[in-house]
Structure formats: C-alpha cells, structure tokens
Chain A
C-alpha cells in the first residue's frame, strides 16, 4: 500500500487544494507543502526500509485491472535500486518547488494542483511496472505541464508550452507503437516479465521496436537534435516548473532507456550502443558550445542541461556496471544541482525581473546570499569534487572509457567548456562593479527560500561526499541488468 499512498499523496493534496473555497485560496500553499512533505517523509521511510542486499523489485503491489482479449492490464507498482533514488529525488524536488512558489499569487489553487499532479505522474512513471500504466503516467504529466507553462509562465509562454507538448506527444506516438508491438509479441504488458523475456523478431524486427521506444525516451532526455523544446520550455516556465522539468522530468527519459530499452532489448541495445556513445558525446559538446552563446540566464542553464544529460547516454553506452551506475548517479546529481541553479536564478529573477545577462552584474554586493548560492550551484554544475556532479561525471567517464574511449575523450572537453560557461556567467551576473540600478533589491530573506536553497545544497554535498549512500542501492539493480546484457 505504501507505494500507492506515496504516488497518490500529491494528487490527493491537489484535490484538497482545488476544493478550498475561494476565500482560503491563500492557504493553498500550506496544503501543497503539507502534501509534498508527507510524500517526502514517506519516501524517506521507504528508502530506509529498502533492502539493499536484495535483488529485484520491492514493495510490489499488484491488482488485476483490465482483462481483455488475452491482455491482462495490471495495476502493478514496485521499486528497485534504479527507481528508489529517483523517487526520493522527485519527492525532494517537489517540496523545493512548492517552497519556491510561495510568492505565487495568481490563481494559486490551480497552480498548486497542477504542480502536485505533476509530482504524482512522475512518481507513477518511476514506480509503474505495467507498461500501459507506465505510459498513462507518462502522458498524464503533459497536462499539468502545459498549463503551468502556458498560464504561469512568462515571455512566449504559449509557444513554448505547445512546443513542449508537441515534442513529447510525437515521442509518445512512437513509444506507444513500440509498447504495443512488444506486448503483442510477448502477450503481456508486465515490465518485469518483459525484462526477463527473450524477444525475437516477428512481424517487425526488434530493432524497429527498440528504435520506436528509444525515440520516445530520447526526446525527453533530451538528445541532440531532439532538444530544442528544452530551452524554450525552461526559459518561459515559472521557477518551480523549471526545477521540476530539469530535476525530474528529464530523468524519465534516462530511466526509460535503462529500464525499458536496455533491460528489455539488451541485444539490440548492444548492437546500437556505439550510437549511444556518439549521440551522448555530441550532446555533451554541442550543448556546451551553444551554452557559451546564451544571453539569457535560464536558457544558459537549459542548454547546460542538454550537455549534462548527454553524459547519461554516454554512461549507458558502455552497457557496463560502472557506466550504468554513473548514468543513474548523473541523473540524481543533475537533478539536485540544476534544481538548485534554477532556484537561485529564480530568486534573482523575482527581484530584478530580468534574465538578461547583460543587464545584470555586480549583484554580489546587493545579494550576497543569493550570490553564494549561485556560485555554489555553479561550481557543482562544473563538476567540482566533493559535490554531487563530480562523482557522477567521473563514474560515467570511467565506465564508458572501458568500451568507447573516443567518445569519452571527446566528452571530457565538456569539462573545460562547463568551467567556461559557468564562470563566465558568474563573472557577468554577480561580479564586476556594482550597478546602482539594483540598489533597491533585497537578498534572499524568507524562510521558505532559505529552506529550499539549504535543502538542495545539503543534498548536493551529501551526494558528493557520501556516494556509497546511493551507489550501494543502485548496485544490485545494475547487477540484474548486467545479467541480461551479459547473456
């Protein structure tokens, strides 16, 4: 039951928020905070209840749902060492997102309802073990995201929201065909069974099935050249949505590739792994080069995400235990680091109402705390040791180097480029002479701001100095996948 409660807790909170009478709409944030905190607490409880010595899925729940024409659709949830860390990441970032939304005053009930439903849908994706259920949660996420960007966003928000939805739906269209082909092939939607099955060519070659599924995940990750929705969505989304988007929604792509593409079709993944390495390396470099050209802080972080998510694919490409662990770790690290970056930039935007780098500058004097947070997050993003990103990057590099040395040698240049765009951004935004235009602005000062920033920063450090916490959990799940890949 606990997993069901965990997944639907935010949704229940969303219903309560919507039922609040209008005169209490100012209280919506408290309901949202309570709901997201409860989900976080429950996920932490599950995290420690999780047996890291056991293989396979834990806390499994299974109910017959629809039985039709030989297909048994099930309500089937469970977590393993691959999904449990991502569940924690999601509940954690949901709390942070709610906190940084406290200043929202426009239609707060609808806003928080959307944010919470988004959390439920992502938690559903990470816990669903039935392929159709997985797809339902996958699609459910579109609806709140569209509204959040289109209604509470800024700039060309309708364009960006539509672009986001169209891209994802186009990917999903491929994915659903792939799902149906797999299901017809094996007569089941059960992800666990599919992950143990030996799938052969039938009506269509399995490589086509693989391609269809991969496209759906790759749009989400995103890979170059399916990435152009990301900078638009990020730059026009409100802060909390950027946090969720970069922090957890992109991870659905990486999770899908590992859980579905690699686990269910390991032989095809092996045949095409060189493409993973190539696309990963190109994404790392292409993303980083374009990041250097950005003049808008949020677009800059968005493009850096393209670069960093390329590392996830690079880690997967070697199909080895170290690389896969690195890929999962990179998802966690990128989630908290980029989440923090968007929070810091969001706090700055709330005060200056501009994201244009050329207009900012010298803010270190007027906003010492926000500057500290931004410098910290920036160094985390460029992979400074003792912070989360370093462990992830080096594990990915070591793992991928075992198979595709050329791709790693290409990608490590991203290490210099990331130092370039992060430090240049800091130089232009917070350092340099004070601009008197910003004399009136305040520094980070509310408790909810402090809590969100401190919470994320602590996690960035924790993942950087105590990697065993997550690595020991990820390891058994990777071992299970390796049994598939190896055979």
Chain B
C-alpha cells in the first residue's frame, strides 16, 4: 500500500491512464484489422502494423518524458478483474523508469523491424499473417512491461510465448521450423513452472496479492521466513531462465533462428528474450533480500555466458553465431543482476537491444542477397553490400565493447559490479568479453572479407521460397531494409551516452527510482575500462590473425584443441541428452510406455477379468436357479435371518 500512496502524490508522471492503455491497444487494433479484413491484401498489413506500432512508439516517448519530469516516480492504475472468495485478481498498468526504458526500447526496435520486414518479407504468401503475428507480439510484450501485478505479467508472459511460437514456426511447412517452434514453447514452459509455483507461493504464504509493489515490500519487510523469499525468488528466476535462455534452458534459442530473420532480430535478440532479465529486475528487491537466490542468478548467468560464447566460436552458420552471442549477452545481464548490478543490467539490456537488433537485421540483409546463412558460401560481401557491411561493423565493435560505442559503457558497468563482488565472476566475464570480440570478428571476416563464394543456388522447385534475386550476383538490399540499419547504427554508437545525460548519474537515478530503495549510481574505474578494452582488442586482433591473414589456420587450432572443439561443436551434447536420452527413451519409450501398458493390460485387464469372472459365476449360478420355489424360499429366509442377526449384532437392544 505504501507505494500506491506515493503514486497518489503530485509527483506522479503526468500521463493519463487512457494513454497508457493506448500503448497496448494500438498494435492490438492493427492486429484485429489485419486478421479480420486485410489478411489477403498485401502491403496494407505492413502499413497497418507500422501505423499501430508507430502510435505506441510516440506514446512511449511521451511516457518516458513524463517519468523523467516526475523525477522517476511511479504511476499505477488498477482495476479489479475478477474475484472469488479470498482471491482477487486485478488488471492494471504501472509506469516507472524501468517500464519507460523498456517501452522505448521495444517500440523503437519493433517499428524499425516492421519497416525492414516490408522489404524482407515482400512476396511471401504469408505476408498478412506475418504482420498480424508481429502486432500481436508487440502488444503482448508491451503488456508484459506495463503490468502492475504478477498475475497480469504472467498472462502477457505466456502470450509472448505464443507469438514467439507462431513466428518461429512461421514457415510451418519446414519440419525444422515446426519442431523449433514446439521446442521453444515447451522449454520456456519448463521455466514457467517455476514462475507459476512462485505465484502460488506468494499468494498463499506472501501478501495474498499479486501487486508488484506489495510483493517487493513484503519480501524486504523481514516478515516472511527467509526460505520462503528464496523459494519465491528462485521460482521467478526459473521463469526468467526459460524466457531469457539461461543454462540449462538455453537450448531453444539457437533453434528459434528457424523463424524469419526480422523475427529473430526483434523477438529473439532485442525484446522478448530480455523479458527474463526484466522480470528479475522487476523483483530485484526480492533477490537482494535473498543472497542464495542472487548467487544462483549470478552463477547461472556466468555459466550461460561462457557456454554460449564457446559454442559461438565454432558455428559455421552466420545467424547461429548471433544467436549464441545473444544467449551469452543475456547471461551477462543475469550475471550483473546476480551481483547486485541492477542499473548495469538494465543499461546493458538497453544498449544490447539496439546493436543486437542491428546485427540480426544485417544478417537478414546478407541472407536476402545470398540466399544462405552458411558462412562457407559467403565472403567478400563488403564491396557488394557496403551499407550492410559498415553498419554491421559498427554493431560488432559496439558488442565487442570498443570505446566509445554503446556496448563499451554498459559492459564495463557489469564488469565493474562483478569485480567489486566476486573476482572469479569478474574473470569469467572478462574471458567472455575476449571471446565475444573474437567470434564477432571471425563472423564478420568470413562473411564480408576475402573472396565471394557464390551463395546458395535458388531452388526453383520450392514453391514456398520467395527468394527473387540472383545469389551469384549479390547486391545491396532495398532502402526499406538499409534505412533501419542506418537508423539503428545511431543508438549502437550513442546509446551509451544516454546514461550520462544530462548528468553522470541520470540513468541510474531514473531506473533506480523504480525500486523501493534508491540504488547506487553507475561508477567508472579506469583499470576495468582499460583491461576490458585490451581484451576486446586482443579478441579482434586474434580473429584478424586467424581468419583474415591466416597466420595461424583455424584448422590447426582445432586440431590442437580437438576434444574442446568437439564439445563446442556438439553444443555440450545437451540437445542429445535432453531429446534422445530423456524425451525419447526415458519418457516416451520407458515411463510413458509403461503407463500405457499398465492401462491396457492391468487396468483394462482387471475390468475384462471381472467381466469374465461374472460370466463364469453366473453360468455356475444357473445351477442354483432350479425354478423350485421351495429352494428360493429357503434362500430368502436364510438371507433375512442373517440380516436380522447382523442388525441386532450392530445395535443391541
């Protein structure tokens, strides 16, 4: 209640409730219009999506500035949705610094991706369906960040999962796409079990409400027993680990690359996959109240970052490098949250959204021209696709953490926070920083430098392919695709300065105000900055030495570290363990089959057996049915005597 009262003071962000709901409603209306009327008309669906999301973008900026004006205070508007007995479920929106940052990141990237998609998806038979799904996704994602209570957050959380499923499986005729969509949904749902359990726990043992502010207050009040808070935090983190692809639930994200590339850029790089990071940040006070839970978050994040970075080193598929890079960066953000770096994590989430979206859209541009993601069929694209190349270069440098680009600032904050908390975690983070620079420039060199190797020939028998260019003669993409690349390059360079404007602690104070307790501001340590820059430059230089100059060949490195290379190439064998061992053998052929056999032979066996016994008894009993009244009478009398005796025995007079 405390926080609701704060919201009622004069400092509330000056944005009406209607406008906040309009952020959600606008893409939803576009979705409805496309589904109901404009599915079959090409073009229109794309324009509707752009218009719907454009309106959300404008209001999101209004919300951002209103929160800035209100000095980072919180506005909440809540209504009762339904209630039964002691259960009351509300529906409401909340806007604070954290929400505002998310709103701006989501709508900005989403709008650019829609514009890009009008070029990338042109000619696809599912054009209308594509934009309908994209609008639905944007609505769900915005609902997720606007929700003022955990119940509503969970609803949009799951709807985001649905949009992700529909978009990964967009080309559903491809078995790999259909399988990847299913895998993504199921694996994230395993994490959702934790979130669901957390919801049950907090309602039963917690404040008896789902309100985020009240849950934060409850967790930090010192009232609940420590293990309850830890269990709640771990449940929330399990959900976050599913959505944000943390080890050991990260396996779905690389497969999700089966979806159209703009989808990968928007959903599986910039927005949805950071929902888990957002969720942990939302409940950050709860994690602060539980050291055990925080340690789990930090270590899971660190392990995820390392595992994904090592796998990215050996990928041959351009887009998969980016996918593993995404997983690795998400691990980085979780690591930050685990060591108490709330501001650093959100900061990195924000900068990452732009340069990671740019990288994916760049890879889409390359695919649009070469019909492949296989780096062994590319090379030398620099001269054919200069805009794609240079924007990709900027994003790669930013991700690698080169001064003064956006990624440098946010990554440095994370390393600084880990340094102060735990040196082993810092070392892990630093190693990942080196690998990140290496694999990004490996990919960049293989794709854009050297000789062009011809791309993938177009299969004219594939009725579902809408590729209409000549891979033999790659070309720069149309302006609807390159313009978003150029626009995204701006925040990829400059989003890091945003945090220090108008003064050094601006961003920290802004997103920190979303927490009940003020959070310490961003710091700067020259030692950390120099060391991480040296590592990044070393990574780039190594990639240059191996892949551009070939002073050391990659084959010889692989031969030296063969067992490790095998481990990385096979993704640590996790997919095999999950799918072949657990799903196929332990469950389907083992346990599930056992139950099915039990059903067929034991349960039904008893039923059919009873039937047989009854028939048997009745055919024997027929002998008694002599038709002689005397024997019936005898039996009847005997029965009555027994009953009477029984009754009197039970109730003596």
Asked if A and B bind, the verdict is: yes
Using a CB–CB cutoff of 8 Å, the interface residues on chain A facing chain B are: 163, 166-167, 203, 225, 227-228, 286, 289-290, 292-293, 320-322, 325, 362, 364-365, 379, 384-386, 390-391, 394-395, 397-399, 401-402, 405, 408-409, 412-413, 415-416, 419-420, 423-424, 426-427, 430-434, 466-468, 471-472, 474-475, 478
Q: What's the minimum C-beta distance from B461 to chain A, rounded to whole angstroms?
A: 13
Asked whether B204 lies within 8 Å of A402 as measured between CB atoms, the reply is yes
Q: Could you tell me if B588 and A292 are in contact, using CB atoms closer than 8 angstroms?
A: yes
Verify A228–B84 contact, CB threshold 8 A: no
Give bound CA distance, A395 to B192, whole Å: 17
Q: When the two chains form their complex, are residues A228 and B599 in contact, meaning their CB atoms are under 8 A apart?
A: yes
Are A322 and B86 in contact, with the CB atoms below 8 A? yes
Shortest B316–chain A CB gap in Å is: 25
Complex interface: stretch among B5-13, B193-201, B320-328, B448-456: B193-201
Q: Is B173 in contact with A364, judged by CB distance below 8 angstroms?
A: yes
In the complex, chain A residues whose CB is within 8 Å of the CB of B155: 385-386, 390
Q: Are B84 and A325 in contact (CB under 8 A)?
A: yes
A-side contacts of B604, CB under 8 Å: 228
User: Which of A293, A408, A420 interacts with B596 by CB under 8 Å?
Assistant: A293
Across the interface, do A290 and B596 meet the contact criterion of CB distance under 8 Å?
yes
B348 to chain A, nearest CB (A): 29
CB proximity of B275 to chain A, nearest CB, Å:
15
Q: Is the CB of B172 within 8 A of A203?
A: no
Least CB distance, A385 to chain B, in whole angstroms: 4
CB < 8 Å neighbour of B87 from A290, A322, A427, A431: A322
Q: Known: A322-B86, A364-B172, A412-B197. Contact between A398 and B189, CB under 8 A?
A: no
Q: Which of B179-187, B281-289, B358-366, B561-569 contacts A (4 or more CB under 8 A)?
A: B179-187
* A365 contact from B173, B178, B593, Cβ within 8 A: B173
Given A397-B196, A412-B196: A293 touches B592 (CB 8 Å cut-off)? yes
Closest A-chain residue to B193, C-beta based? A412
Known A-B contacts: A292-B588, A397-B200, A412-B193. Give 4 more (CB < 8 A). Answer: A228-B604, A286-B595, A391-B82, A402-B204
- B204, A290: Cβ atoms under 8 Å? no
Known interface pairs A416-B186, A419-B185; A478-B84 also in contact (CB < 8 Å): yes
For chain B, the bracket of interface size reads 35 or more
Beta-carbon contact of A385 and B154 below 8 Å: yes
For the complex, give the distance between the alpha carbons of A419 and B158 in Å.
12
- Residues of chain A with a CB closer than 8 A to B199's CB: 394, 398
A384 vs B158: C-alpha distance when bound (angstroms): 7
Shortest CB distance B410–A (Å)? 33
B84 & A427 in contact (Cβ 8 Å cutoff): no
A397 to B173, CA, bound (A): 37
CB pair B595 A228 closer than 8 Å: no
Chain B residue with minimal CB distance to A467? B82
Residues of B that sit less than 8 Å from A by CB: 81-87, 151, 154-156, 158-159, 162, 165, 169, 172-173, 175, 178-179, 181-182, 185-186, 189-190, 192-193, 196-197, 199-201, 203-204, 587-588, 591-593, 595-596, 599, 603-604, 607, 611, 647, 650-651
Residues in A whose Cβ lies below 8 Å from that of B611: 166
- Contact among A427, A467, A478 for B179, CB-based, below 8 A: A427
* Nearest opposing residue in chain A for B200, CB measure: A401
Q: Is the interface of A mostly helix, strand, loop or mixed?
A: helix
B178 and chain A: residue at smallest CB distance: A431
Residue of A nearest to B157 (CB): A385
Contact B175 A321 (CB under 8 A): no
Chain B residues with Cβ below 8 Å from A394 are 151, 196, 199
Which residues of chain B have C-beta atoms less than 8 A from A413's C-beta? 193
What CA separation (Å) do A424 and B178 show in the bound complex? 9
Complexed CA–CA distance, A425 and B341 (Å): 43
CA A422 – CA B390 in complex, angstroms?
45
Closest CB in chain B relative to A193 CB, distance in Å:
24
Which A residues touch B169, using CB under 8 A? Answer: 431
Asked if A289 contacts B189 (CB within 8 A), the reply is: no
Q: Give the distance in Å from the alpha carbon of A271 to the alpha carbon of B304 in the complex.
A: 48
Q: Which 9 A-B pairs have the closest CB atoms?
A: A321-B85, A431-B178, A385-B155, A325-B84, A467-B82, A468-B82, A423-B182, A431-B172, A401-B200
Judging by beta carbons under 8 Å apart, are B592 and A398 in contact? no
CB of A325 within 8 A of CB of B599, answer no
Once the chains are docked, how many angstroms separate the CA of A426 from the CA of B172? 10
| A432-B175, A433-B173, A471-B84 as given contacts; A408 in contact with B599, CB under 8 Å | no
Q: List residues of chain B with CB within 8 A of the CB of A286.
A: 595
- 12 sample A-B contacts, Cβ–Cβ < 8 Å, listed by A number: A289-B595, A290-B596, A321-B86, A385-B156, A397-B196, A398-B199, A405-B204, A408-B200, A423-B186, A426-B182, A434-B173, A472-B82
Chain A residues whose C-beta falls within 8 Å of the C-beta of B203 in the assembled complex: 398, 401
Q: How far is the CB of B301 from chain A (nearest CB, A)?
A: 24
Task: Identify which of B86, B186, B595 contacts A419 (C-beta below 8 A).
Answer: B186
Partner of B173, one of A362, A402, A478: A362
Q: Which residues of A contact B607 (CB under 8 A)?
A: 163, 167, 228
Question: Roughly how many angstroms separate A397 CA and B197 CA in the complex, as a whole number?
Answer: 9
Residue of A nearest to B651 (CB): A203
A391 CA to B196 CA, complexed, in Å: 13
Contacts A379-B162, A384-B159, A409-B197 hold; do A433 and B175 have CB atoms under 8 A apart?
yes
Q: A415-B193, A415-B196, A431-B178 are in contact. Are A385 and B85 (CB under 8 A)?
A: no
Residues of A near B650 (CB, < 8 A) are 203
Let me know if A424 and B182 touch, CB within 8 A.
Answer: yes
Contact indicator B595/A475 (Cβ below 8 Å): no
**From residue A230, how far is it (CB to closest CB) to chain B in Å?**
11
Q: Which residues of A contact B603 (CB under 8 A)?
A: 225, 227-228
Query: Is B85 in contact with A320, judged by CB distance below 8 angstroms?
Result: yes
CA distance A293 to B587 in the complex (A): 10
Complexed CA–CA distance, A424 and B592 (Å): 15
- List residues of chain A with CB within 8 A of the CB of B197: 409, 412
